[in-house]
Amino acid sequence: MANKKITSTNAMNRDFLEDRCTLNKVLRIIGKRWVAEVLVLIRNDVRRFSQLKECLAGISDNVLSTVLSELVKEGLIEKQIFGEIPVRVEYKVTGKGRELTDLMSTLCNWGKKHIPFDVRMEPLRRAAAAL
């Protein structure tokens, strides 16, 4: 995938909004596809790549690897490599990631309270209809 131009209007707008409000950066991190799900699963002790893949129907190996790398880069999870044969890799949530997942849970509860059930379930209905 090609990198986006730094001088594009979208990039300049994104940078402007992130400079004005840190919340925009947070939402950009957790709002990417699969990120919230992966972070919550790791928080709930799903630690290995294969376990994550099993829990996330439809995610490709490449996308899962990218999401894990981004979460490590942001300091939300840690990657631990064990010197075994075959090599074993596990992920765990950092204190920073734990704090963020607590906030995400609060946001989720807010959504359950203020977003009608049928609106929340619409993506599932569309997916089921497509089968």
Tell me the per-residue pLDDT of 60-82, one tens digit each, with 9 for 90 and over: 999 999 999 999 999 999 999 99
Over the range 70-83, which residues count as b (16 or more CB within 10 Å of their CB) and which as e? bbeebebbeeeeee
68 close to 77: Cβ distance less than 8 angstroms = yes
Structural domains in the chain, CATH included, are: 1-30 (no CATH), 33-130 (1.10.10.10)
38 close to 56: Cβ distance less than 8 angstroms = yes
Specify burial of residue 42 (Cβ count, 10 A radius: 0-12, 13-18, 19+): buried
Look-up of token digits 């009608």:
116
Binning pLDDT at 50, 70 and 90, where does residue 34 land? very high
Its pTM stands at 0.78
Q: What is the DSSP-derived secondary structure letter of residue 83?
A: -
